[in-house]
A = this chain, B = another copy of it.
Amino acid sequence: MGRRKYAIGVDFGTESGRALLVDVSSGQALATAIYKYSHGVIDEALPVDGKPVRLEPDWALQDPQDYIRVFKRTIPAVLRASGVDPADVIGVGVDFTACTMLPTLADGTPLCDLPEYRRHPHAWVKLWKHHAAQPEADKINATAAKLGAGWLTRYGGKISSEWFFSKTLQILDEAPEIYAAAGRLLEATDWVVWQLTGEEKRNACTAGYKALWSKREGYPADAYFAALDPRLEHVVSEKMSRAIYAIGQRAGGLTAQAARWTGLRPGTAVAIANVDAHVSVPAATVTEPGRMVAVMGTSTCHMVLGTTEQLVPGICGYVEDGILPGLFGYEAGQSGVGDIFAWFVDHAVPPEYHRAAKAAGRDLHQHLEAEAAKLKPGESGLLALDWWNGNRSVLVDVDLSGLLVGATLATRAPEIYRALIEATAFGTRAIVEAFDSHGVPVNEIVTCGGLPEKNQLLMQIYADVTGRELKIAASQQTPALGAAMFGALAAGAAAGGFDTIYAAAQKMARLKPKTFKPNPAAQRVYNDLYADYLVLHDYFGRGPNDVMKRLKHQRAAIRA
Task: Tell me which of B349, B406, B540 contacts A551 (CB under 8 A).
Answer: B406
Known: A339-B409, A409-B336, A554-B381. A532 touches B559 (CB 8 A): no
Known: A376-B558, A388-B407. A412 touches B347 (CB 8 A): yes
Q: Once the chains bind, are B412 and A401 in contact (CB under 8 Å)?
A: no
- The answer, yes or no, to whether A405 is at the interface (CB within 8 Å) is yes
Task: Tell me which of B347, B405, B545 contacts A401 (CB under 8 A).
Answer: B405
Q: Once the chains bind, are A347 and B413 in contact (CB under 8 Å)?
A: yes
Task: Tell me which of B350, B380, B406 contacts A548 (CB under 8 A).
Answer: B406
- The answer, yes or no, to whether A383 is at the interface (CB within 8 Å) is yes
Known: A376-B558, A555-B379. A403 touches B404 (CB 8 A): yes
Q: Which residues of B contact A532 (CB under 8 A)?
A: 547, 550-551
Known: A346-B350, A348-B348. A551 touches B405 (CB 8 A): yes
Report the minimal beta-carbon distance from A305 to chain B, rounded to whole angstroms.
Answer: 32
Q: Which residues of B contact A239 (CB under 8 A)?
A: none
Most buried by B among A349, A545, A550: A550
- The answer, yes or no, to whether A536 is at the interface (CB within 8 Å) is yes
Q: Which residues of B contact A339 (CB under 8 A)?
A: 409
Fill in one digit per residue for A377-393: 1 if any B CB lies within 8 Å of its CB, else 0: 01111110000110000
Q: Once the chains bind, are A547 and B535 in contact (CB under 8 Å)?
A: yes
Q: Which residues of B contact A554 (CB under 8 A)?
A: 378-379, 381, 525, 528
Alpha-carbon distance between A413 and B350 when the two chains are bound, in angstroms: 11
Interface residues of A in 492-526 (CB under 8 A from B): 525
Q: Which residues of B contact A346 (CB under 8 A)?
A: 350
Interface residues of A in 416-447 (CB under 8 A from B): 416
- The answer, yes or no, to whether A351 is at the interface (CB within 8 Å) is yes
Interface residues of A in 246-302 (CB under 8 A from B): none
- The answer, yes or no, to whether A80 is at the interface (CB within 8 Å) is no
Report the minimal beta-carbon distance from A488 to chain B, rounded to whole angstroms.
Answer: 39
Task: Tell me which of B349, B383, B401, B550 contacts A408 (CB under 8 A).
Answer: B401
Q: Which residues of B contact A539 (CB under 8 A)?
A: 539, 545
Q: Once the chains bind, are A407 and B402 in contact (CB under 8 Å)?
A: yes
Q: Once the chains bind, are B376 and A540 in contact (CB under 8 Å)?
A: no
Alpha-carbon distance between A351 and B525 when the two chains are bound, in angstroms: 35
Q: Which residues of B contact A383 (CB under 8 A)?
A: 547, 551
Report the minimal beta-carbon distance from A538 to chain B, rounded to whole angstroms.
Answer: 11
Report the minimal beta-carbon distance from A492 to chain B, rounded to whole angstroms.
Answer: 46
Alpha-carbon distance between A554 and B525 when the two chains are bound, in angstroms: 9
Report the minimal beta-carbon distance from A37 to chain B, rounded to whole angstroms.
Answer: 24
- The answer, yes or no, to whether A82 is at the interface (CB within 8 Å) is no
Q: Once the chains bind, are B558 and A379 in contact (CB under 8 Å)?
A: yes
Fill in one digit per residue for A327-370: 1 if any B CB lies within 8 Å of its CB, else 0: 00000000010011001001111110010000000000000000
Q: Once the chains bind, are B401 and A406 in contact (CB under 8 Å)?
A: yes
- The answer, yes or no, to whether A411 is at the interface (CB within 8 Å) is yes
- The answer, yes or no, to whether A234 is at the interface (CB within 8 Å) is no
Q: Which residues of B contact A381 (CB under 8 A)?
A: 401, 551-552, 554-555
Q: Once the chains bind, are A405 and B347 in contact (CB under 8 Å)?
A: no
Alpha-carbon distance between A347 and B412 when the two chains are bound, in angstroms: 6
Q: Which residues of B contact A380 (CB under 8 A)?
A: 555
Q: Once the chains bind, are A411 and B347 in contact (CB under 8 Å)?
A: yes
Q: Once the chains bind, are A535 and B545 in contact (CB under 8 Å)?
A: yes
Q: Which residues of B contact A354 (CB under 8 A)?
A: 350-351
Task: Tell me which of B349, B408, B548 contacts A388 (CB under 8 A).
Answer: B408
Report the minimal beta-carbon distance from A335 to chain B, rounded to whole angstroms.
Answer: 10
Alpha-carbon distance between A159 and B548 when the two chains are bound, in angstroms: 36
Alpha-carbon distance between A539 and B559 when the two chains are bound, in angstroms: 30
Task: Tell me which of B350, B401, B407, B540 contacts A350 (CB under 8 A).
Answer: B350
Q: Which residues of B contact A559 (CB under 8 A)?
A: 379
Alpha-carbon distance between A389 and B412 when the two chains are bound, in angstroms: 14
Alpha-carbon distance between A305 and B174 when the two chains are bound, in angstroms: 65
Q: Which residues of B contact A558 (CB under 8 A)?
A: 376, 378-379
Report the minimal beta-carbon distance from A244 to chain B, rounded to whole angstroms.
Answer: 35
Q: Which residues of B contact A351 (CB under 8 A)?
A: 350-351, 354
Alpha-carbon distance between A286 and B21 when the two chains are bound, in angstroms: 82
Fill in one digit per residue for A132-158: 1 if any B CB lies within 8 Å of its CB, else 0: 000000000000000000000000000
Alpha-carbon distance between A107 and B242 when the two chains are bound, in angstroms: 102
A sample of 29 inter-chain contacts (CB < 8 A) reads A339-B409, A343-B409, A343-B411, A347-B411, A347-B413, A348-B349, A348-B413, A350-B351, A350-B354, A351-B351, A351-B354, A378-B551, A379-B558, A380-B555, A381-B401, A389-B408, A401-B407, A401-B408, A402-B406, A403-B404, A403-B407, A404-B407, A405-B551, A406-B547, A406-B552, A525-B554, A528-B554, A535-B545, A539-B545
A-B contacts besides A389-B409, A406-B547, 11 pairs, CB < 8 Å: A347-B413, A348-B413, A350-B354, A378-B551, A401-B405, A402-B408, A402-B411, A404-B404, A405-B548, A406-B551, A406-B552
What 8 pairs across the A-B complex have the smallest Cβ distances?
A: A402-B407, A381-B555, A406-B551, A378-B554, A379-B558, A351-B351, A403-B405, A532-B547
Residues of A within 8 A of B (CB): 336, 339-340, 343, 346-351, 354, 376, 378-383, 388-389, 401-409, 411-413, 416, 525, 528, 532, 535-536, 539-540, 545, 547-548, 550-552, 554-555, 558-559
